[in-house]
Amino acid sequence: MSKAYAYSYMQFPVTARIGDQLEIKMGLRTQTAPLEAVRYVYVSTLGEYQELIIAFDKPNGSRGILRSYANPGDSQFKAFVDDLAAMRPNSDLRSQPRREALKTMGARDTQLIAMVVVPVVVMVLVTFGLSPMIIHALDDGSQPVTAGELGKVKLTTRNLVLSGELDAQRVLRVTHTENGRTTSSELVFPIFPAGAPDDAFVPIALQTRDLSDAAIDDLAEKGSWKCTLRDVLWEGLESDDVEYMHDKLGLNVTKQTQLCELDDGEQTRLGVIIGMVVCMGAFVSGILVLALWLQRRKQR
Domain that holds residue 125: 109-138+268-300
Note whether 257 and 277 are same-domain residues. Answer: no
**Domain membership flag for residue 145:** no
CA distance 232 to 234: 6
Note whether 208 and 284 are same-domain residues. Answer: no
Note whether 102 and 184 are same-domain residues. Answer: no
pLDDT band at 248 (very low <50, low <70, confident <90, very high): very high
pLDDT for residue 56 is more than 80: yes
pLDDT band at 291 (very low <50, low <70, confident <90, very high): low
The pLDDT tens digits of the residues spanning 82-130 come to: 999 999 888 999 989 888 888 888 877 665 555 566 677 777 777 788 7
Note whether 262 and 161 are same-domain residues. Answer: yes
* Confidence (pLDDT) at 299: 46
Note whether 191 and 257 are same-domain residues. Answer: yes
Note whether 89 and 123 are same-domain residues. Answer: no
* Confidence (pLDDT) at 70: 93
Q: Which residues contact 198 (CB under 8 A, 6 or more apart)?
A: 167, 250
**Domain membership flag for residue 87:** yes
Note whether 7 and 92 are same-domain residues. Answer: yes
Note whether 72 and 116 are same-domain residues. Answer: no
What is the overall mean pLDDT for the chain?
86
The pLDDT tens digits of the residues spanning 126-172 come to: 778 878 888 888 888 999 999 999 989 999 999 999 999 999 999 99
Note whether 88 and 162 are same-domain residues. Answer: no
**Domain membership flag for residue 30:** yes
CA 204 to chain centre: 29
Cα-flanking dihedrals φ and ψ of residue 86, to 5°? Answer: -70, -30
Beta strands in 210-300 (DSSP E): 224-229, 258-262
Note whether 69 and 208 are same-domain residues. Answer: no
Number of structural domains (the chain) is 3
- DSSP assignment, residue 192? E
Note whether 224 and 277 are same-domain residues. Answer: no
Note whether 206 and 118 are same-domain residues. Answer: no
CATH number of the domain that residue 90 is part of: 2.30.29
Strand, coil or helix: 79: helix
pLDDT for residue 271 is more than 50: yes
**Identity of residue 72:** P
